[in-house]
Amino acid sequence: MAAAVPDPSSPGGQPRTLSTRAFLLWVVGLTVLVLLPSLVAGSEVRLIGLLIFLPAIGAGVGTVRQTVAASVWATAGALVSLGRDPQHDIEGILLVLLTVVFGVLAVYGCRWRLMHERELIRLRSTAAVIQQHILHPLPELTSRIVVDGVYEPVHEDKLFGGDIYDAADTAYGTRVLIGDVQGKGLSAVGIAIAVLGAFREAAHRQPTLSGLADALETSVLRYNAYARHSGEPERFVTALIICVDDEGDDRAQAVNCGHLLPWRVGAPDGPQKVYLGDAHVPLGLASLVEEERAAFWFDFPEEATLLLYTDGLSEARGTDGVFYPLAERLAALTSEACPSPGRLARELRDDVRTYTHAEPQDDIAILTLRRVPPEEAAAPAPAPGDVLPEGLPHLVDGAEETGGADGTQETTDMRETQETREARGPEKGADEGSDAGGGGTGREGR
């Protein structure tokens, strides 16, 4: 799903220009086309002056050296024309001067073009790297499921839009997020990054799915407070959070924050929309209702594929104004056999393109989830408190290794502190946690 990132320092990261062979072919070819009428009709037809445009063509598609060569070639042609027809010496001299001036301008124009193309390549390379850190490339294999899909912003020249997704393999299960930010384009990027950052942190810290949803709610509220202070509009985010763990067997749990319901395909009963109870309000609007968010269990057998998507798919309209018939198309695409998760997402994307016969009007995100056998699964995620691989910061009770002059000793002391707290028992540990949180309660205090 993520395209390869061009390296500006490599040949693949350089602006596209003509090869030397191609350059010679079109220079010779254009010269023959210009001289051929003169050779056929005689000296009455004078088209040699058209070679003045050779440097301009070179500036548009060639390198600086090729443009210089085209300028020299055109000037030489003008000089030859002047020498063969001295009767038009004034016109010939003027042609030579114009060819030289046009050639110099073409060389500078070519240099300017290549400089800006290299700058654009560097910017797009940087943007592509940032995108891969914001939206992780798919497919992603965890210890329980494989997550695949496609993501397309509404504008092809943009790498990121208002639809978000992520997957985290945690000790509490594999947690998957898909969401849709209110608004489109770059104006929705800020809150999208805030929600993704909160998910990647809280997914490993919050033992319950409802607690994870509350952490995302807090991140949206904080972003809206900053936006309000900056004079920007406040936004909300529809989101669906899925958790697949080892305790649910053929079941999984979800918290629906105003998002579209998923579909379960590949089961013997055909594509079925998954009922997740009453949907809660989107992230950022929890203060409008009294009910707290709660997780809902649903069937997710091993042979089934779970389809998550945003409204860019379900609300795409055809030429007649009718919404994309997702239920019918899913049944048709899976009538014989359910495709692989990645192929199903790509077939849906191609099918909705065919249905609309137009440029997309909204971002499209399609995720497919399928359980994987134990022999194909990735290594399980570390449990809370486990030592992380060497080279990564160690977190113990929220404290991070500072990496000072004696970083190893510092980490050892932190582990000893953890063992001491566990030895004191739950009562003392709870008291110390309250003191560390400044006496606050609730998820934000922890």
Q: Give the CA angle between residues 110, 114, 115 to the nearest 5°.
A: 115
Q: What is the mean pLDDT of residues 131-136?
A: 77
Q: What is the mean pLDDT of residues 181-207?
A: 87
Find the domain containing 347 and state its range.
Answer: 137-371
pLDDT of residue 419: 40
Question: Could you identify the residue written with the tokens 């990027």?
Answer: 189
- Asked if residue 241 lies in contact with residue 258, where contact means CB atoms within 8 angstroms, the answer is no
Last residue of a domain, one of 309, 343, 371: 371
Confidence of residue 121 (pLDDT cuts 50, 70, 90): confident
The model's pLDDT over 313-341, given as tens digits with 9 standing for 90+, comes to 988 888 888 899 998 888 888 877 777 88
Examine the domain organization and report whether 146 and 243 are in the same domain. yes
Name 135's Cβ contacts closer than 8 Å, sequence gap at least 6: 2, 151, 160, 164, 165, 166, 196
Is residue 440 in a domain? no
Examine the domain organization and report whether 57 and 39 are in the same domain. yes
**pLDDT > 50? residue 411:** no
For residues 316 and 303, give the distance between their C-alpha atoms in angstroms, rounded to a whole number. Answer: 29
Confidence of residue 377 (pLDDT cuts 50, 70, 90): low
CATH of the domain at 345: 3.60.40.10
CB under 8 A, 24+ apart: contacts of 221-225: 221/284, 222/194, 223/190, 223/191, 223/194, 224/191, 224/284
Is residue 401 in a domain? yes
Q: What is the mean pLDDT of residues 271-280?
A: 90
Examine the domain organization and report whether 224 and 198 are in the same domain. yes
The model's pLDDT over 337-362, given as tens digits with 9 standing for 90+, comes to 777 888 889 999 999 888 888 776 77
Examine the domain organization and report whether 279 and 366 are in the same domain. yes
**What is the count of structural domains for the chain?**
3
Is residue 377 in a domain? no
Examine the domain organization and report whether 107 and 243 are in the same domain. no
Examine the domain organization and report whether 115 and 231 are in the same domain. no
The more confidently predicted of residues 119 and 16 is 119
For residues 220 and 407, give the distance between their C-alpha atoms in angstroms, rounded to a whole number. Answer: 35
Is residue 376 in a domain? no
DSSP string, 224-282: HHHHHHHTPPP--EEEEEEEE-SSSTTEEEEEEEBPPPPEEESSTT--EEPP-SSPBPP
pLDDT of residue 205: 94
Handedness of CA 193, 195, 198, 203 (dihedral sign): negative
Examine the domain organization and report whether 174 and 300 are in the same domain. yes
β-pairing verdict for 399-400 and 163-170: unpaired
Examine the domain organization and report whether 159 and 297 are in the same domain. yes
Confidence of residue 376 (pLDDT cuts 50, 70, 90): low
pLDDT of residue 250: 86
Is residue 403 in a domain? yes
Examine the domain organization and report whether 90 and 145 are in the same domain. no
- For the question of whether the overall pTM of this predicted structure is more than 0.75, the answer is no
Last residue of a domain, one of 130, 149, 178: 130
Alpha helix segments (H runs only) across 303-393: 311-314, 326-333, 341-356
Examine the domain organization and report whether 150 and 218 are in the same domain. yes
**pLDDT > 60? residue 165:** yes
Is residue 378 in a domain? no
Examine the domain organization and report whether 120 and 141 are in the same domain. no
Confidence of residue 433 (pLDDT cuts 50, 70, 90): very low
pLDDT of residue 381: 59
Is residue 441 in a domain? no
Last residue of a domain, one of 108, 130, 152: 130
Q: How many CB atoms lie within 10 A of CB 40?
A: 8
pLDDT of residue 152: 83
Examine the domain organization and report whether 154 and 73 are in the same domain. no
Is residue 443 in a domain? no
